[in-house]
């Protein structure tokens, strides 16, 4: 991992942490998932997982740590891994599919976080069903943030992605 990529990850992490803090007043609406998806699409699965870990720990230092931190890392890490694998597809992915994946990711994140309660209380379904409105907020927020952030962030990450693919094709 070179200095340029580390700088990109640091900037994305800072943007995600600030975004999560700024939108803390809206339940489950924050740009973290969308930024991790965009990172995975352009920088690869490893970078997206690193971003998920960085963002979770840094933002939870501001918002509060707990047992849920582990499950946040797991859920955002899996989302980053999947988006990184999607980014390896040689064809360009249409934006509406990325938005659909972001919506799915909101519900997937909620499902994984609901496992926290199962770990503690042994009950999963009541907590999961009670959290569906919050998961819906997350899914809608992800769609909006992808639509707003994808054109801007992709503009800056395309330069690195093109370098990465050109280096891979020349070897």
Asked if residue 21 has pLDDT above 70, the reply is: yes
Q: Report pLDDT for 123.
A: 87
Tens of pLDDT, residues 82-140: 999 999 988 889 999 999 999 999 999 999 999 888 878 888 899 899 999 999 999 99
The pair of three-digit structure tokens given for residue 42, joined into one six-digit string: 């352009």
Given a contact cutoff of 8 angstroms between Cβ atoms, the answer to whether 77 and 53 are in contact is yes
Asked if residue 33 has pLDDT above 70, the reply is: yes
Tell me the mean pLDDT in the region 32-58.
96
Q: Report pLDDT for 167.
A: 43
Please give the span between the terminal C-alpha atoms of the chain, in angstroms, as a whole number.
17
- Sign, CA dihedral 145-151-157-158, equals positive
Asked if residue 168 has pLDDT above 60, the reply is: no
Tens of pLDDT, residues 154-167: 988 887 776 655 54
- Exposure of 139 by Cβ count < 10 A (0-12 exposed, 13-18 middle, 19+ buried)? buried
CB atoms within 10 A of CB 166: 9
Domains of the chain with bracketed CATH? 30-158 (1.10.1760)
Tell me the mean pLDDT in the region 61-84.
95
- Band of residue 67 on the pLDDT scale cut at 50, 70, 90: confident
Asked if residue 37 has pLDDT above 80, the reply is: yes
């Amino acid at each position: 991992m070179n200095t340029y990529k580390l700088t990109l990850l640091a900037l994305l992490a800072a943007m995600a942490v600030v975004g999560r803090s700024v939108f803390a007043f809206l339940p489950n609406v924050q740009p973290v998932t969308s930024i991790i998806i965009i990172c995975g699409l352009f920088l690869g699965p490893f970078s997206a997982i690193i971003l998920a870990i960085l963002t979770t720990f840094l933002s939870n230092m501001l918002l509060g740590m707990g047992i849920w931190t582990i499950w946040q890392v797991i859920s955002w890490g899996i989302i980053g891994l999947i988006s990184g694998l999607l980014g390896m597809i040689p064809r360009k992915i249409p934006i509406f599919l990325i938005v659909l994946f972001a919506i799915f990711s909101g519900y997937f994140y909620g499902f994984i976080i609901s496992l926290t309660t199962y770990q503690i209380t042994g009950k999963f379904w009541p907590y999961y069903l009670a959290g569906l409105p919050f998961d819906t907020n997350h899914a809608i927020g992800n769609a909006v943030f992808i639509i707003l952030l994808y054109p801007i962030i992709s503009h800056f990450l395309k330069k690195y992605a093109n370098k990465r693919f050109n280096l891979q094709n020349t070897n």
